[in-house]
A and B are shown apart, each in its own frame.
Chain A
Amino acid sequence: MAKIPFTQEMKDKGYTIAIPNMSPIHFNIMKRIFINHGFRPVLLENSSPSVIREGLKYVHNDMCYPCLLVIGQIIDAINRGIVDKDHTAVIISQTGGGCRASNYYFLLIKALERAGLGNIPVISANLQGMNANPGFQITLPMLVQAFTALVYGDLLMLLSNQVKPYEINKGDTDRVIDKWTDILGDCYEKNKGYFWGNMKKKLFQIADDFAAVPVKRVPKVKVGVVGEIYMKYSRLGNSNLQGFLEDEGAEVMLPPMMGFVLYCFANGIKDEEYYGGRAKYAFLMKHIGMPLLTIVEKWTDQAIERYPEFRTAATFKELEKYAERFIDRGCKMGEGWLLTAEMAELIEKGYDNIVCTQPFGCLPNHICGKGMIRPLKEAYPESNIVPIDYDPSATKVNQENRIKLMLAVAREKLEASEVK
């Protein structure tokens, strides 16, 4: 198997970089960062059944569904000419944990080779320096920009989810998202106005804009969506779960992506405690890294708290506490303890109807998702959690029927609380 690196020459020649779109709000902002650093990104949105067909053809069918979808989407995009097969590189994240997802990179290379597309370079997006590419180096400004984009994206997602179901004029909320995607994109292009003092200001302005959207607040069933990261956010993955829930009259809450990033960083601290050998990393991360990274949490919270109708997301510290009631923070593969923590958080915040999404046969979720439903139910008897498995075989009818059961119970609870 030959690894084709992404070279400086390819970058100079203007190769397109194909990026599977996991979360539109976040990725639309991130896209501008890529452009800003001289790349030509294309966010892949193709979602026809041929995506799954290609995935099934080139990926072992027992492999997890996100892997099948991402690889299927890339190959389908090439087949359809969305990107040019001779001038394209693809990018895929590589977390390097003990979950099989760390293998996506290798499986993608294998799949491309089998599909006769072995000339396409695959860029591994990771912070550990695995499988480096000379033409694609993550620089400090890029990192800072990506980090802030994540914070902005999270706030846009958090507040739009709390406004959109109640908006009086359809489209108001989406306009706020579009507006800020543009503003932030311009900031990244000019490489200024998005960090430190400006950041706090912008976060406040975003909250102001959402608060200004005219709404009619009626009691709605509140549903939290948690799970494996791709299944949770990706519309392709979860057949537009959020849209389905909103059509059924629910308000949907998705935990911020930043939680996952912080979770990855914090796991190194726990690793040192349990397994040793990472003392320096743990010390720096614990005393400098995490405090710095979590400063922005405070700004976000302050921006939101000025409006009593909005709910903040739990801070990372709070998440750690929630987790510890149910599961050891040593569970660090896949979404690990964070998944359990997010379920507890959502329940505490009133989103006690939960869809827990995972690819069929997801190994960590047997433990941190499905395995924690019973203890959660014991601690919170009112909670109403439905685990949904996604894979190429699962049919929408079956999934929706189970979600509808969760919604029926949720509605009954809502009515009962209104009577009170």
Chain B
Amino acid sequence: MLKVGIDVGSTTMKTVAMREDNTLVFCDYQRHYSQIIEKGKEMIQAMIDRIGDDEVTIALSGSAGMGLAEAADIPFVQEVYATRVAAKTFIPDTDAIIELGGEDAKILFLKGGLEVRMNGTCAGGTGAFIDQMATLLGISRDDIDRLSEQSTELYTIASRCGVFAKSDIQPLINQGAKTEDIAASILVAVVNQTIAGLAQGRKIEGKVVYLGGPLTFIKRLRYYFDKALNTEGICPENSLYYVAMGSALSPDGKKMRLSDVVTALESYRGKGEYVKLEPLFNDEAEYKAFRERHLKADVPVRDPSTYTGRAYLGIDAGSTTIKTCLLSEDGKLLLSRYSPNNGNPVQAIQSFLSSLYDTYPDIQIAASASTGYGEDLMKAAFSLDYSLVETEAHFIGAKYFMPDVDFIIDIGGQDIKCFKIRDGVIDDIFLNEACSSGCGSFLQTFANALGKSAQEFAELALTAKEPVDLGSRCTVFMNSSVKQAQKDGATINDISAGLAISVVKNALYKVIRTSNPEELGHRIVTQGGTFLNDAVLRAFEKELGLEVVRPQIAGLMGAYGAALYAKMMAKRHELRLSSTIRKEELEGLQHTVKNVRCQGCTNHCLLTVNSFGTKRRMISGNKCEKPITGKKEDSAEKWDVYAYKQELLDSYRARKTGAKGTLGLPLALGMYELLPFYVTLFQDLGYDTVVSPFSTRDIYIKGQSSIPSDTVCFPAKLMHGAVDWLVREKVDRIFIPCSSYNVNEEKGNNHFNCPVVAYYGEVIKGNQDLEGIPLTLGYLALDNPKHLARRISELFGVSRREAAKAISKGFDALADYRKRITDKGLEIISESRKEGRQIIVLAGRPYHTDPEINHGIDRMIVSLGASVISEDSVAPLTGKGQDNVLNQWTYHARMYDAARYIADQRDMNLVQLVSFGCGLDAVTTDEVKEILRAKDRIYTQIKIDEITNLGAVRIRMRSLFAAIEMEEEKDNG
């Protein structure tokens, strides 16, 4: 009897039939476009055509297979288990298997204690991830393989989550980094993610087998795995079919005829048991009225072939698309273009301009401006006159359609931008973050996955009878929700409508965080390519219960605003001659990209240098202005408390020989605050303290493999690297403070540490190889010196008197350290006021001082001309306040205090740093925002994690400064 196995993966379906002796008679591999039941029927029919319809034993496996198994009543085998059965049969001496699928990644250890690991729900580094990144680069998966061979430089890409990775890759593309290098970096990111996230410290060695689509098709991926594991793994014959073969071999197989399976699938109907929403349109007439209403929001156009004279060019270089608008002197739209940038925005504009110059020689560009992610690149490449931050461009565009607009929402391909306008000034800005990433490209991805164009897919939604309620989730999660809905019998129309609704809900409830759409405003302009999708627009109006304006050029609003800006500025500056690149020069434009390591300081930033012919170049990737201006900066700490803190902390690294040997202190989490205390204390007790350095990417990667929870916050993850560094230093002992309570500053109802700061040492103890170095976890009372002395004397074998003396010195050092920070803060405030500099309170936790955690955001803000102080430098300036939340964490209380303090200081603004996964910040962000709102102040939040690129943060900060400037201009009349 033949044995049949089916494997329904997240993107592909595999079928095999095997003889008794386990040789393959038949195998097939196809993409299923989520049409699982239909595809199953088709593939089994194909199998019958080849092997006939005798009785077989059959079993089914795969992450998307449960529905099919139910429908046809076939036994279901868990896929990791199936893999193992197959491996045992075909390669019995396997030690470890690495299997990457569409959305799952697995590692199986077969020898020495069976262990199977599967990625958590919140994870990237899979086949779908690679496909997504390829789409982003505008190349195929095979190209990734081929191009990566020619890479010369690797970039850091966060691969924990596809959305994170995108935010690292997008700016690389826009800065002109080589596709070869990005391709290689993507593969390396996948390798790092798999090894670190799944092996979790267990060594992968011996005979390693690579399975699954990505590892079969991308040989460079195997190469990078080999390199990372220092081994030569094998990718066996039929590596795509191991799961299918494993289920065929499974003892649970059921005897049946394949034709019975086909019959069962033919009669299968989804139960229709999904959560349904109201249709977008009840009938055709309703849709017609809707169309007509929105057709009115139009811009006057003018035929460019009959136009001669001055024109204004606006370019919006977005993350995936590039938009251009050309306006006549009387503000009419002459030309516009909306096109994907295919990873090369310079080329896109080059071709636009050359066709403009060729076709309409009578039009001359009088002024030009760029905006968007690629604003700087565009300005440099084409020598444009102006550039402006995109929020401003959108506001200018929107005002044309609705002069008294009070809320603008822009949903583009990759991001959502919303801003409130009050009294003609941008008042509040919301941008989406990784976990609220449902934007346009998301609809596009789904359309493609279901085998439709974006346009076709959007039209389907309009006639949906019972849209699926998909909630508002992150893109990664949405995949499985859609599959679940399909399994439950939702039609593609209902899914399309459901997705459109979820994009809107995501924007309203996750990005803007409104519970009452009334709060937004009543004069709303919608922008961005995604709103050209009528389903999204309708869903938005329905959710708000309000009619909004959607300009016909919704997708071009950034470029339109930029063109209007160019026109406005040209008039204001009486610009006679635009600097925009001329025809002759355009033809000779040679765009080259080079990567160099900056030698300006120890950061050694990887700089991307774009050169355009002989004269112009643009440098990006820098964290400071040095490589551009060539000038030495003001000493960093002059305007920056964070830099000052780093310097202060550095001073505690000085070693002092001690009779009791070396004691390693990992500089991570709570130690960032308490370093002065512990160094002083332990040096006094006779220890030679060794402090781990500030984190770097390299240190992080070295400690990454012992992290047990991939969703814990980044600051906690860095603890592993710090401890690993100390282990390699071969210190005699390591000390990690572990306390429920922090110092009592009398500012809240209690003075807790957060659970992670409090007990992370336990994770180190349980998961990290310390090579025999003893680890002391100090459960210590910092709020009770007397008791502390007792504990220290117990833990370190010193007399209580000695302990008490050392403790008192430690507290003096801590008080001194804290005072210096407050003094420095006050000094910066007064110096800044003298020079009229904006002051930003970058409010986070003490460990946000770590340069790998804050990614140099402090320096970036300084480079924009503002000063940076920290929450703990201003918190002591205000008393205990009344809070609407339980205020019981020492570090968090400081943020509330800082917010209350600056609420009354008009020249100070607060920017809150939030780490992904910080559960407490779900509480603090809303509260800090409310404190600021109560006094009409702008609240800005920056979420940080591994993502190293500051592009989005920069836009956010510049928007903030633009808003402040507009407000000042208004105040000054």
Complex interface: chain A residues within 8 A of B920 (CB):
100, 363
Cross-chain contact B480 with A362 (CB below 8 angstroms): no
Nearest Cβ on chain B to A123's Cβ, whole angstroms: 16
CB of A1 within 8 A of CB of B484, answer no
Does the CB pair A328–B763 fall under 8 Å?
A: no
Tell me which of A8-16, A53-61, A85-93, A296-304 binds B.
A53-61
How far apart are B119's CB and chain A's nearest CB, in angstroms?
10
Contact of A393 among B477, B786, B791, B886 (CB under 8 A): B477
Interface residue from A53, A103, A110, A367 paired with B763 (Cβ < 8 Å): A367
Q: Mark A328-351, 1 if CB is under 8 A from B, else 0.
A: 101111100000000000000000
The complex places the Cα of A114 from the Cα of B66 at a distance, in Å, of 41
Contact B922 A381 (CB under 8 A): no
Q: Are B63 and A374 interface neighbours, CB within 8 A?
A: no
Docked CA distance A333–B756 (Å): 10
Given known pairs A361-B919, A363-B919, A389-B711, the reply for A327 and B477 (CB within 8 Å) is no
Q: Does B903 contact A (CB under 8 A)?
A: no
Check if B921 is an interface residue, CB within 8 A of chain A.
Answer: yes
User: Could you tell me if B708 and A373 are in contact, using CB atoms closer than 8 angstroms?
Assistant: yes
The CA of A274 and the CA of B484, in the complex, are separated in Å by: 50
Q: Mark B92-103, 1 if CB is under 8 A from A, else 0.
A: 000000000000
Hey, which chain B residues are within 8 Å of A361, CB to CB? 711, 917, 919
Report the separation of the CA atoms of residues A297 and B783 in the bound assembly, to the nearest whole angstrom. Answer: 36
Interface residues as binary, A392-417 with B (CB distance below 8 Å gives 1, 0 otherwise): 11111111111011011100100000
Is B80 interfacial (CB-CB < 8 Å)?
A: yes
Residue of B nearest to A56 (CB): B509
B766 contacts A371, CB within 8 Å?
A: yes
User: Is the beta-carbon distance between B759 and A57 smaller than 8 angstroms?
Assistant: no
Contact B477 A275, beta carbon cutoff 8 Å? no
Most B CB contacts (10 A, CB to CB) among A49, A401, A402 go to A401
For residue B67, which residue of chain A has the nearest CB? A397
Q: Does chain A have a CB within 8 A of B285?
A: no
Q: Which chain B residues border A397 with CB–CB below 8 Å?
A: 63-64, 66, 480, 483-484, 487
Residues A381 and B483 in contact, CB atoms below 8 Å apart = no
* A177 CA to B201 CA, complexed, in Å: 46
Residues on A with C-beta less than 8 A from B779 are 274-275, 328, 330
Is residue A102 contacting chain B, with contact meaning CB distance below 8 A? yes
Note all chain A residues with C-beta closer than 8 A to B777: 328
**A residues near B753, Cβ cutoff 8 Å:** 98
Interface members, chain B 113-129 (any A CB < 8 Å) = 113-116, 118, 120-122
Q: Does A64 contact B (CB under 8 A)?
A: yes
- Cross-chain contact A392 with B114 (CB below 8 angstroms): no
Q: A326-B766, A370-B708 are in contact. Are A100 and B483 (CB under 8 A)?
A: no
Per the bound structure, the CA–CA distance linking A44 and B223 in Å amounts to 56
The B711-765 residues at the A interface (CB cut-off 8 A) are 711-712, 716, 738-741, 750, 752-756, 758-760, 762-763
| A62/B922 in contact, CB under 8 A | yes
Give min CB distance, A286 to chain B, whole Å.
17
- For A363, the chain B residues whose CB sits under 8 A away are 754-756, 919-920
The reply to whether B767 and A366 contact each other, CB–CB distance below 8 Å, is no
> How many chain-A residues does the 8 Å CB contact rule pick out?
73
A64 / chain B contacts, CB cutoff of 8 Å: 919, 922
The interface bits of chain A over 41-69 (1 if a CB of B lies within 8 angstroms of the residue's CB, else 0) are: 00000000100110011101111100000
The yes or no answer to A277 lying at the interface (CB within 8 A) is yes
Residues of A within 8 A of B239 (CB): none
- Interface residue stretch chosen among B47-55, B387-395, B466-474: B466-474
A138 CB to nearest B CB, Å: 20
Q: In this assembly, does A134 line the interface, its C-beta being within 8 Å of a C-beta of chain B?
A: no
B25 within 8 A of A: no
A-side binding surface: helix, strand, loop or mixed? helix
Interface centre among B716, B766, B791 (most CB of A within 10 A): B766
Point out the residues of chain A lying under 8 angstroms from B750, CB to CB.
98
Q: Contact partner of B919 among A362, A395, A405, CB < 8 A?
A: A362
Any B CB within 8 A of the CB of A185? no
Query: Given A98-B752, A397-B66, A397-B480, is A404 in contact with B78 using a C-beta cutoff of 8 Å?
Result: yes
Instruction: Tell whether A374 pairs with B711 under 8 Å between CB atoms, given A100-B919, A328-B779, A392-B473.
Output: no
A362 to B920, CA, bound (A): 10
B780 touches A401 (CB 8 A): no
Q: How far is the CA of A371 from the CA of B711 in the complex (A)?
A: 12
Q: How far is the CA of A114 from the CA of B516 in the complex (A)?
A: 8
With A57-B509, A106-B885, A408-B78 known to touch, is A98 a contact of B919 (CB < 8 Å)? no
Q: Is B923 a contact of A103 with CB atoms below 8 Å?
A: yes
A364 within 8 A of B: yes
User: Cβ of A371 and Cβ of B740 under 8 Å apart?
Assistant: no
| Contact bitstring B76-98, A, C-beta under 8 A = 1, else 0 | 11111100000000000000000
A89 CB to closest chain B CB (Å) equals: 20
Closest chain B residue to A381, Cβ basis: B113
Nearest-Cβ distance from residue A100 to partner chain B, whole angstroms = 5
| Distance A412 CA – B116 CA, assembled complex (angstroms) | 13
Q: Cβ of A275 and Cβ of B510 under 8 Å apart?
A: no
Interfacial chain A residues near B80, Cβ < 8 Å: 405, 408
In the complex, the answer to whether A333 meets B886 with C-beta atoms within 8 Å is: no
In angstroms, how far is the closest chain B Cβ from the Cβ of A293? 22
The answer, yes or no, to whether B384 is at the interface (CB within 8 Å) is no
Can you list 18 contacts pairing A with B, beta carbon distance less than 8 Å?
A: A49-B275, A53-B469, A61-B510, A98-B889, A103-B885, A106-B886, A114-B516, A275-B779, A275-B783, A275-B784, A276-B787, A360-B121, A365-B709, A371-B708, A393-B477, A397-B484, A407-B78, A408-B81
Additional A-B contact list (4), CB under 8 Å, known A367-B762, A395-B480: A98-B750, A106-B885, A106-B886, A364-B759
Q: Which 5 A-B pairs have the closest CB atoms?
A: A276-B787, A98-B752, A275-B781, A62-B922, A408-B81
**A residues adjacent to B (C-beta < 8 A):** 1, 49, 52-53, 56-58, 60-64, 97-100, 102-103, 105-107, 110, 114-115, 271, 274-277, 326-328, 330-334, 360-368, 370-375, 377, 381, 387, 389, 392-402, 404-405, 407-409, 412
